[in-house]
């Protein structure tokens, strides 16, 4: 279909019921893909996203699972294969974010952020490989959502920064190991805000474009990666220029 370059393809977006994941899912659907909406607890939000996508004429399904747990991931990918028979795109978006003083950071907090932000991406990528290799598309794609925090040092978020730095290096290793069939890239968002949230005035002041990002800004970057067949191993900072404004 004209204007739908992803027509016929199936994309899984983890943590897609809300915020950035929701924006990515809706954007890929607008490009023609059928979408699997993974969620952990936000069932009603996930079903709302599914309704929006199906109303546009694409197929969509909401599938529950904690992607930091191997049993849930195995069940998720078995369900995708049964219902859709293929997978062309994996967007590893599920993540968590909270501040913590390093000197009082607990082991539970460390494990929680590593499991959600890094282990989940490892588990999903590993489980997706057989389906992605069988994709009839010339190339299939993994896009890992990392963060500007994986590049810059934020002492109040050391645990988070380390998890996202791991995502960045996971991306580079997978890009080398899974080519040429599977292309692997990462989007590293700066501060992303949604309607109703108090503006991050410090970020706005220090960023060349003088605004925070939107979910659509990240979705644009993901759409670029999954429509490109000659880009792999890249980390794209979508940050309004914040990284060059030290």
| Domain harbouring 108, CATH code | 3.40.50.720
How many domains does the structure of the chain reveal? Answer: 1
Position 4 in a domain: no
pLDDT of 238? 98
From 39, 84, 157, 160, active-site residue: 160
* Residue-number span of the structural domain to which 165 is assigned: 10-244
Residue ranges of the chain with pLDDT lower than 70? Answer: 1-2, 246
pLDDT of 147? 98
Query: Is 160 one of the catalytic residues?
Result: yes
Position 1 in a domain: no
Position 224 in a domain: yes
pLDDT in tens, 53-84: 999 999 999 999 999 999 999 999 999 999 99
Show the tokens assigned to 62: 């909401």
CA–CA dist 113, 164 (Å, integer): 10
pLDDT of 245? 87
Q: Are 167 and 118 in contact (CB under 8 A)?
A: yes
The predicted model scores a pTM of: 0.97
Position 71 in a domain: yes
Position 3 in a domain: no
Position 163 in a domain: yes
């Amino acid at each position: 279909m004209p204007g739908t370059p992803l027509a016929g393809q199936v994309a899984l977006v983890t943590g897609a019921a809300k915020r950035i994941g929701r924006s990515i899912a809706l954007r890929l659907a607008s490009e023609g893909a059928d979408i699997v909406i993974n969620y952990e607890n936000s069932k009603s939000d996930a079903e709302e996203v599914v309704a929006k996508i199906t109303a546009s004429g694409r197929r969509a399904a909401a599938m529950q699972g904690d992607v930091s747990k191997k049993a849930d991931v195995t069940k998720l990918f078995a369900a995708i294969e049964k219902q859709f028979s293929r997978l062309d795109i994996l967007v590893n978006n599920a993540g968590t974010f909270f501040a913590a003083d390093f000197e009082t950071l607990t082991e539970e907090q460390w494990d929680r952020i590593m499991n959600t932000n890094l282990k989940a991406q490892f588990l999903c990528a590993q489980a997706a490989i057989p389906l992605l290799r069988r994709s009839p598309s010339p190339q299939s794609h993994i896009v890992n959502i990392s963060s500007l925090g994986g590049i810059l040092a934020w002492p109040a978020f050391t645990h988070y920064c380390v998890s996202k730095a791991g995502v960045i290096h996971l991306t580079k290793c997978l890009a080398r190991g899974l080519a040429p069939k599977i292309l692997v890239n990462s989007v590293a968002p700066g501060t992303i805000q949604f309607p109703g949230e108090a503006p991050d005035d410090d970020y706005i002041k220090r960023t060349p474009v003088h605004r925070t990002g939107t979910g659509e800004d990240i979705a644009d970057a993901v759409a670029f990666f999954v429509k490109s067949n000659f880009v792999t191993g890249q980390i794209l900072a979508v940050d309004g220029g914040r990284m060059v404004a030290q």
